[in-house]
Amino acid sequence: MSIQNIIETKVKEGFLALYNIEIPTVEFQATRKEFEGDITVVVFPLLRYKKANPVQIGEDLGKYILENVTEITNYNVVKGFLNLVVNDSFYTNFFHRIYSNTSYGFVSPKADDKAMMVEYSSPNTNKPLHLGHVRNNLLGYSVAEIIKSAGKKVYKTQIINDRGIHICKSMLAWEKFGNGETPESSHLKGDKLVGNYYVKFDQEYKKEIAQLISEGKTEEEAKKEAPLLLEAQQMLLKWEAGDAQVVALWKKMNAWVYAGFDVTYKSMGVDFDNLYYESNTYLLGKDVVAQGLEKGVFYKKEDGSVWCDLTEDGLDEKIVLRSDGTAVYMTQDIGTAIQRVKDYADVGGMVYTVGNEQDYHFQVLFLILNKLGFDWAKQLHHLSYGMVDLPSGKMKSREGTVVDADDLMIEMTATAKVISEELGKLDGYSDSEKNELYETIGLGALKYFILKVDPKKRILFDPKSSVDFQGNTGPFIQYTYARIQSIIRKADFDYSQPVTIDLHEKEKELLKQLELYPETVQQAATNYSPAVIANYTYDLVKEFNSFYQNVHILGEENLDKKIFRIQLSKKVADTIKSAFSLLGIKVPERM
């Protein structure tokens, strides 16, 4: 049990014993450097339960804890803050327990626990993955890994948007202007090739619009009557009717895209347990609408369209079936959610990694599923994230002004190479070792830069500043890990057995930070936030560097102290590696 859990139990017990009042929670913070103590109970929130002088409450609780918690050796009260001093033996005993625990911080799933499904990526098959997809994939993958480490079984999934007018646009452009070009003949990844034809469609479409306007049409008329758009719409109708030629073209071009996506996912270091395709799911949900009509969840308008009235819930009316009987995206998402629970009977909740422009959509989706009576709907979460901006402005797929995910990863590796060579610390590395290191540093910089920010916040991404070996960056943390490995390699003595020493202040601070790791993993899982893990790791590394600068490790004369400091350094490195694995980031053994 952590020291915080021990103290929380005793604060609640003490409040009941002293004042005959039960309190639900206890608020903690780290003790400020200028005061004696290791952990601080914040008294002010307790005033809502007991009207009294906060200093007196602090004194009462401090005395009670000192008498009833053997791990606490002293206390002091500063205004509304109760600072508690923890016995060194608690931390050394804690360290002996965790030193050889390779899964420290992780919880094994219980056999009867419901699983979570995490959806991310979910691209369109008319273009390659771009910078926005990078944030989506990194967030979704990391959240899945964090939830798994917190003790849940997790399924990683995506729904591939492989149908619709936008897909037909790239198909039509290739058919008209492609001259049989293939990924092999063009030496392009398939997703890039198809994406080029999506851009080509837009270019030719704009020419037709301009021509029609010059002939006297209004802009609105020209956009609707442009021959290319009409052909694309006709192609979509043929696809929906199962036209053999159109379906064959669709399958061929989608296969090119999937092959391209696979390469990008592998480079990015993300994976999936199963895939859903919109071409298979777009008709799902129509039966559910019929059932919802019977239950009174939905109602039908005079034109035959079906709606859900959410005005009493503070929202608006939402269409779930058009008057011609065709489904809308909401219908499809309702059906897909239900289908997933049918496919995976142990799924008890889902996380949807989708940009914040879809906040309202998911608010409505979750509410409708609740109204339809699905218990698991209470365990649905929209992992809403902000957009990624560039110094050059907003990206536009149709105009081909996106930052391609593959190009970005190549650029990050190249930037890491330049900076690493400038630092000149790669003597003795082979070319293949250097290239592997550049990729580890470059991708680590990219992932950390994106994941250290709270998902809800918008990001202005600057590739060069992310590959910095100082400050709150991936490379800085990777460098600290590599430094510890170098120390361990130089330890030419047996440090396998536990030792007990009087703790140096810096050792104690480092142990306090290590003790927070399991709680941090749980907090990150509860909040669906890799930023919690990223910033914990940065704080751990800062604490280690302060320790490294203030005590001797290999140069320590006392053997027990030297052994303990090697062990402590090793455990810090293990925790960095563990935390970074939750972010999908590798750590190099040498830098």
Would you say the C-alpha torsion 500, 505, 507, 512 has a positive or negative sign?
positive
Which band of pLDDT confidence, cut at 50, 70 and 90, is reported for residue 136?
very high
Which band of pLDDT confidence, cut at 50, 70 and 90, is reported for residue 401?
low
Which band of pLDDT confidence, cut at 50, 70 and 90, is reported for residue 167?
very high
Q: Determine the angle formed by the axes of helices 54-68 and 3-19, rounding to 10 degrees.
A: 120
Mean local confidence (pLDDT), 47-58: 96
Asked if 115 and 340 count as a contact pair (C-beta separation under 8 A), the reply is: no
Of the candidate ranges 79-83, 151-155, 283-287, 459-463, the one whose mean pLDDT is the lowest? 459-463
Which band of pLDDT confidence, cut at 50, 70 and 90, is reported for residue 463?
confident
Of the candidate ranges 1-5, 25-29, 114-118, 349-353, the one whose mean pLDDT is the lowest? 1-5
Residues 6+ apart with CB under 8 A from 279: 162, 163
- pLDDT tens for 356-375 read 999 999 999 999 999 999 99
Q: In 25-87, where does DSSP find H-type helix?
A: 54-68
Q: Residue 49 above 80 pLDDT?
A: yes
Instruction: State the pTM of this model.
Output: 0.92
Asked if 570 and 484 count as a contact pair (C-beta separation under 8 A), the reply is: yes
Predicted pLDDT of residue 395: 44
As a three-state string, the secondary structure of 372-419 is CCCHHHHHEEEEEECCEEECCECCCCCCCCCCEHHHHHHHHHHHHHHH
Q: Where in 61-185 does DSSP place strands (E)?
A: 72-78, 81-86, 115-119, 154-160
Q: Which two tokens stand for residue 141?
A: 């993958």
Q: Residue 397 above 70 pLDDT?
A: no
Q: Residue 393 above 70 pLDDT?
A: no
Mean local confidence (pLDDT), 190-207: 96
Closest Cα to residue 531, out of 487, 472, 571? 472
Residue 311 is classified by DSSP as G
Q: Determine the angle formed by the axes of helices 431-451 and 474-490, rounding to 10 degrees.
A: 130
**Segments making up each domain of the chain, as ranges:** 3-86, 164-271
Mean local confidence (pLDDT), 265-279: 97
SS3 state of residue 160: strand
490-495-497 Cα angle (round to 5): 170
Mean local confidence (pLDDT), 507-513: 96
SS3 state of residue 113: coil
**Phi and psi, residue 226, nearest 5°:** -55, 130
Q: Which two tokens stand for residue 568?
A: 């402590």
Predicted pLDDT of residue 424: 76
Higher pLDDT, 2 or 310: 310
Which band of pLDDT confidence, cut at 50, 70 and 90, is reported for residue 428?
confident
* In CATH, 3-86 is 3.30.1360.70: yes
Place of tokens 């390469």: 263
Q: How far apart are CA 158 and CA 261, in angstroms?
A: 12
| C-alpha distance from residue 243 to each of 166, 236, 238 (Å) | 18, 10, 5
Predicted pLDDT of residue 423: 79
Q: Residue 396 above 70 pLDDT?
A: no
The per-residue pLDDT of the chain, averaged, comes to: 94
Q: Residue 469 above 90 pLDDT?
A: no
Mean local confidence (pLDDT), 533-552: 98
Q: Residue 390 above 80 pLDDT?
A: no
Q: Residue 3 above 70 pLDDT?
A: yes
Which band of pLDDT confidence, cut at 50, 70 and 90, is reported for residue 112?
confident
168-172-177 Cα angle (round to 5): 150
Element (H, E) at 83: strand 81-86
Which band of pLDDT confidence, cut at 50, 70 and 90, is reported for residue 398?
very low
Q: Which two tokens stand for residue 66?
A: 């000192």
Q: Where in 425-534 does DSSP place strands (E)?
A: 459-460
Q: What single letter denotes the amino acid at residue 555?
A: G
Share above pLDDT 70 across residues of the chain, in percent, rounded to a whole number: 98
Of the candidate ranges 147-151, 265-269, 411-415, the one whose mean pLDDT is the lowest? 411-415
